[in-house]
Amino acid sequence: MDQARIIEDFHQGNCVDAYRLFGAHYTYEGGEGVRFTVYAPHARTISVIGSFNNWDENAAKMERTGFNGVWSIFIKDVKEWESYKYLIEDKYGNLHYKSDPYAFYSETRPDNASKTYNLKDIKWTDAAWMKKRTKNFDRPVSIYEVHAGGWKRNGEFPYTYPELENELIPYVKDHGYTHIELMPLNEHPFDGSWGYQASGYFAVTSRYGNPTEFASFVNKCHKEGIGVIMDMVPVHFVKDAFGLRYFDGEPLYEYRKPEDAESQWGTMNFDLWSEEVRSFLISAASFWCDVYHMDGIRIDAVSNLIYWGGNRDRGTNEGSLNFIKRMNYYLNREYPGVMLIAEDSSDYPKVTWSTLDGGLGFDYKWDLGWMNDTLKYYERDPIYKKWHHNSITFSMAYFYSERFMLPLSHDENVHGKHSVIDKMWGTYEQKFMLARNLYAYMMAHPGKKLNFMGNEIGSFREFDEAKELDWFLLTYPAHDAFLRYFTDLNKIYKAHSCLSKYDYSYEGFKWIDADNAEQSVYSFYRSDEKEYLICVLNMTPASYEEFTIEVPQGGTYTEILNSEKDIYSGCNMCNFAPVKAVKRKVDKKTFKYDLTIRLAPFAAVWLTVKRRAPRKKAAV
């Protein structure tokens, strides 16, 4: 470890590996022990107190190093899993009992002391996966978003990391997902924050087990071909006295002005103009990629990073923007296969452009506009849908301005908004019909996909972190059939490269008919060098024994998905036999092709045809 280099980078705001120096590290310095190092420039004195010295406030006084604001001490014979805190005396003589900002593990809430842990305990066997992974721009991505404590539970206790390893990974693989996105697993004191109000940015939460067990979970995901994405929140942190707030008696991690420091969530905003805070957060993101082999980092509340308090009227926060660009630049440099994802509700430009081209440097941005427009449309009575036809077509008017990801996330299943299926218009049966239609539309639309746990079983109950999903629903035929449908969608999506290869290129998508508002029927196709995939969406309860659309070439089209198939609890009005396109003369030299299909009420239909090679021009 190059201590001088880390310190220099740290104070310049360019450090990607501050966790190699700061925190509690097992080492040998004339004997086995732990070196504790902390940044606290305003402190008068600091002691390390813990279970290894009976919490004696005078037993382990830290020393100022030759580096500005950095304190350190080596303590012999400290066993693993020992609890500790920093006792900080500020310049006014006040005492502050603080958890280690760089702790790798912590006590389980409501206790909050840090715990010693040796990162060398983590073993990996995923070298082949790490070598071949990419940012997946031209590959299928179907993400299963998970709250670890609310997926399955043993009575009042959530599943542990080993239990998730044994059950969640096979479930995700069996149902065709490519990635698991974990709502924040950094340590946090309040269950109801779902991890988005963090206290430990380098500590995997002890609620579900220890770091070795979590690493084993990730390693198994990679063995089974599943990527892992972690949510991170660099906007704000908890106010709790043991945490970062007034860490050394003065604002250190938060802004000095109260109006800037206090967040809308009752937490503290990070001072993203501070070089040391930038290094802290850049290193935290890097830590999860380096130590835990994350395949993606999803950054929460990016609009609050772009604008002061997330309020456009207050203007852009230039210090925060510089932090974002710097973090993404370094993460892209150090981990070129890791996906960087922005949860951004603003229309700020170039979020997914390279920092070298004036962008923020993310790889993907959640398309929250698509999500809002789409769900509002599916909530409407079909009688009125023709007046809101552009709610579905509008997304493609702006889609290629960024690399968008389509999310139906936890945010759409909480706070009285109703679950996704319960948002659908109509009766119980019609809600399922529309939900099947919705997900076929989502999977055929350009862009990578994300669905929150429970969407796949048609859960009507909103998410509650204290309860597991309503797995009993699968004893009901409609819900069981819905899970089968969701699984088939994922597997068909992965099997047809035209649905992902050209997500972010104009050549991968084309409207067939975007203007049929009177019937509220949409049709478009996805394509690559191998095939055309036609998608037809009927948004009303009207049915058509003969519905004709224009198709891009002649040939015989095969239906590969029909949301109204009987195995999905549909009416079974399908196109069971392949359908041949009919040649239509436009003028003397021009011909087009029409395809006539059966179209059930609220049906989503996918048909494919092998793409013909372009004719070679005759030699002159």
Distance between CA atoms of residues 566 and 52, nearest Å: 65
Distance between CA atoms of residues 261 and 235, nearest Å: 11
- Is residue 343 annotated as a catalytic residue, yes or no? yes
Q: Indicate the pTM of the whole model.
A: 0.95
Cα(first)–Cα(last) distance of the chain, in Å?
69
Residue 435 CB-half CA count within 13 A: 31
- The C-alpha angle with vertex 393 and arms to 389 and 397, in degrees rounded to 5, equals 140
Q: Where are the beta strands (DSSP E) in 478-619?
A: 509-513, 521-527, 531-538, 544-551, 556-562, 579-580, 582-585, 591-599, 604-610
**What is the structure's pLDDT at 67?**
80
Q: Which residues contact 3 (CB under 8 A, 6 or more apart)?
A: 21
In degrees to the nearest 10, what's the CA dihedral of 455, 458, 460, 464? -40
Distance between CA atoms of residues 370 and 391, nearest Å: 8
- Is residue 138 annotated as a catalytic residue, yes or no? no
At residue 596, φ and ψ (nearest 5 deg) are -110, 125
Distance between CA atoms of residues 293 and 287, nearest Å: 9
Domains of the chain with CATH codes: 3-121 (2.60.40.10), 140-499 (3.20.20.80), 510-610 (2.60.40.1180)
**What is the structure's pLDDT at 620?**
53
Q: Which helix H or strand E contains 212, and what residues bound it?
A: helix 211-223
Task: Please state, in angstroms and as integers, the Cα–Cα distance from residue 591 to each residue in 273, 529, 554, 597, following that order.
Answer: 62, 22, 10, 20
Task: Please state, in angstroms and as integers, the Cα–Cα distance from residue 491 to each residue in 182, 487, 499, 561, following that order.
Answer: 22, 6, 12, 11
Other CB atoms closer than 10 Å to residue 444's CB: what's the count? 25
**What is the structure's pLDDT at 92?**
95
| Options 165, 248, 260, 300, the catalytic residue | 300
With 0-12 / 13-18 / 19 or more C-beta atoms within 10 angstroms meaning exposed / middle / buried, residue 387 is exposed
Strands 179-182 and 509-513: what pairing?
A: unpaired
| Options 181, 254, 343, 559, the catalytic residue | 343
Other CB atoms closer than 10 Å to residue 535's CB: what's the count? 22
Residue with tokens 């030759």: 66
Strands 521-527 and 579-580: what pairing?
A: unpaired
Is residue 257 a contact partner of residue 324, using CB atoms and an 8 Å limit?
no
Spans of the chain, pLDDT less than 70: 615-620
